[in-house]
Structure formats: C-alpha cells, structure tokens
Amino acid sequence: HLSFSLSFTGFILLGFSDWPQLERVLFVVLLIFYLLTLLGNTTIIALSRLDPHLQTPMYFFLSNLSFLDLCYTTSTVPQLLVHLRGPDKSISFGACVAQLFVSLGLGCTECILLGVMAFDRYAAVCRPLHYTVIMHPRLCALMASASWFIGFANSSLQTVLTFLVPLCGRNKIDHFFCEVPPLLKLSCVDTTANESELFFVGVIILLIPVALITFSYGRIVRAVLRIKSAAGQRKVFGTCGSHLTVVSLFYGTAIYAYLQPSNNYSQDLGKFISLFYTIVTPMVNPFIYTLRNKDVMGAVRKVLCRGYDSR
C-alpha cells in the first residue's frame, strides 16, 4: 500500500478555494495573527531567560508552551499564506508526510503539557509549603520531556498508519493542511479500523489531560475559597483563570476535530475549527498568560528600562 501512495507526486490542498473573497481577508488576518504569535511567544521565551524572577516551574512550562506554539503555527501557517495568495495549492508527498508528523506531534505534546501545567498550578496553590520540593527542576524537565516524547511517539504511529491507507489516485485534500481526518477521507477502502484507533488514541491524549486539569482545578477552587484575603483570591483566580481559558479554547476545538464520528464531521466547519487550534490559541496564549500577570509586566518594564539605560 505504501509503495502505491509513494507513486504520487503530491497532493492538492483545497483549503478555502471555494471562497475566493474570503481567501483575501484570511490572508491579511492570518498574517497579522502569525506575526503576533511570533512576537508574543518569542517575548515570553526571552523574558523567562532574562529575568531571574521568572525562572520558576510555571515559567519553565510556559516557555516550553511558547516554543511549542511557535513551531506549531510555523508547521502550517506560512504554507497556508502562500496558498491563499495564489492559484497553486499543491504540496509534495514528502512535505505532506512531514507536515502531518510535525503538526500532530506538536498538537499531542501541547495536550499533555497543558495537563502538566495544571498539576503545577495545583502544587503551587494546594501544597505551597512543599511546592519547591514537589516541582523540583529535575521533575519539571522530566515531565516536559515526557510530554514531547509521548506527543511525537503517537505522531509517528498515526503518520505511518495514515499513509499505509491506499488512496487509489485521489489527491485532493479538502483541508488547508495535511491532517489525519481529511487524509482518511481520500481513501478508497473502508477506514473504520483507522478511525476507531484514532478515536481511541484521541480519548487517551485529549481526555486524560482534561481529567487531570478538572481534578487540579477542583482542588484549587476549594483551596482558594479558604483564602481569607480578597487580593490572594484574585491573584490565584487570575493565574488559573488564564490557564483555563487557554485549555477550553484548545481542547474544545481539538475534541471536535478528533473525537467526532466521521459521518457527523462537517469538512467546512472542520477547517474553521482547525484554524482555532493551529493559529488562534497559539496567538492568544502569551496575551492571556501575561496581560493579567504582574510578574511578566514587571519583567517587561525591567528589560525595557535596562535597554534604555544602556544607551
């Protein structure tokens, strides 16, 4: 089967070609979003390195998330921008395999990392006296590495299984990037086994972190309600509220894309849903985490003042 697929020269990504007027608007909007994603996430990584006050487990995971989001959007958006600008919507077979492997690997890693970040917040709020012992730098590095390893191990499996499916000469993907559900739709054989396996893995990768997040935040809310000072409550709800906003955006859209029965899956709606977790969430992450965060705003001011003084 694989040798049959390899006889392809490539695929056509139909993307938003049914809406030529929308393509122009999308190009401008997505270009702005992409530049904001690069700026916001690069700023968080730089601040986490430059400011000693931000060298804590929370910012270690946040800079991991920012690096991940930079890679995630770059694996799909630049190519989408090129396709939105001109008539050529083609992608080579090798580029499609690479795009599927990288984007799925990064997406799975983000699912797990957001769960790990919820555990970090739980330890900080519910076990403050033991926090530095629990969230030891070695454990933080281990949890981050495990997230990346599991994400890309799953992506390797899904990429191989997807491209083993015979396509019988079909090469028009009704999507804006190479993703598993629309690729399986090209198949000329029954893909029930692939869809069942994808659903099963999707439940594990998506719902186990969601369960961990729900547990963590259930405990956090109980702990916060015991805090006597209103300022203390506001600070905790500010940090945790921002995390929950990111989580709802990311998991909500990813669950729609991967845990939907294929006969209910609307391809057009699927494209717009995919825009959320490939570009909107990575763009808003830095702003959601930083706009209500005094530590980060203080670090920005310090770095800017240092730069101004050095002149």
What is 221-285 written as a DSSP string?
HHHHHH---HHHHHHHHHHHHHHHHHHHHHHHHHHHHHSS-GGG--HHHHHHHHHIIIIIHHHHH
Number of C-beta neighbours around residue 7 at 10 A: 9
- Residue 265 gets the label, from left (phi > 0), alpha (psi -120 to 50) or beta, of beta
Distances (CA, A) of 292 to 119, 157, 289: 21, 39, 7
pLDDT for res 237: 73
User: What token pair was written down for 294?
Assistant: 């005094």
Rounded to whole angstroms, how far apart are CA atoms 183 and 173? 6
- pLDDT band with cut points at 50, 70 and 90 for residue 5: very low
pLDDT for res 125: 85
Angle at 228 between CA 297 and CA 231, to 5 degrees: 20
pLDDT for res 292: 59
- pLDDT band with cut points at 50, 70 and 90 for residue 10: confident
Average pLDDT over residues 103-123: 92
**142 vs 223, residue with greater confidence:** 142
pLDDT single digits (tens) 180-201 = 988 988 888 888 899 899 999 9
Any alpha helices (H) in the chain, and if so which ranges? 2-6, 20-50, 57-74, 77-85, 93-126, 131-134, 137-163, 180-185, 192-202, 208-226, 230-258, 267-275, 281-291, 294-309
pLDDT for res 146: 96
Residue percentage of the chain with pLDDT more than 90: 41
pLDDT single digits (tens) 65-91 = 999 999 999 999 999 999 998 888 999
Q: Which residues pair with 201 in a beta bridge?
A: none
**Chain centroid, CA 117 distance in Å:** 14
What pTM, to 2 d.p., does this model score? 0.87
On whether the CB atoms of residues 80 and 272 are closer than 8 A, the answer is no
Rounded to whole angstroms, how far apart are CA atoms 158 and 190? 17
pLDDT for res 177: 93
Q: Which domains does the chain have, with CATH numbers?
A: 11-309 (1.20.1070.10)
pLDDT single digits (tens) 168-181 = 778 899 999 999 98
Q: Which of 178, 198, 212 is nearest to 255 (CA)?
A: 198
Helix (H, G, I), strand (E, B) or coil at 121: helix
**Chain centroid, CA 305 distance in Å:** 33
Rounded to whole angstroms, how far apart are CA atoms 235 and 52? 21
Residue percentage of the chain with pLDDT more than 70: 91
Q: Worst-scoring range by mean pLDDT, 17-21, 151-155, 254-258, 291-295?
A: 291-295
- pLDDT band with cut points at 50, 70 and 90 for residue 293: low
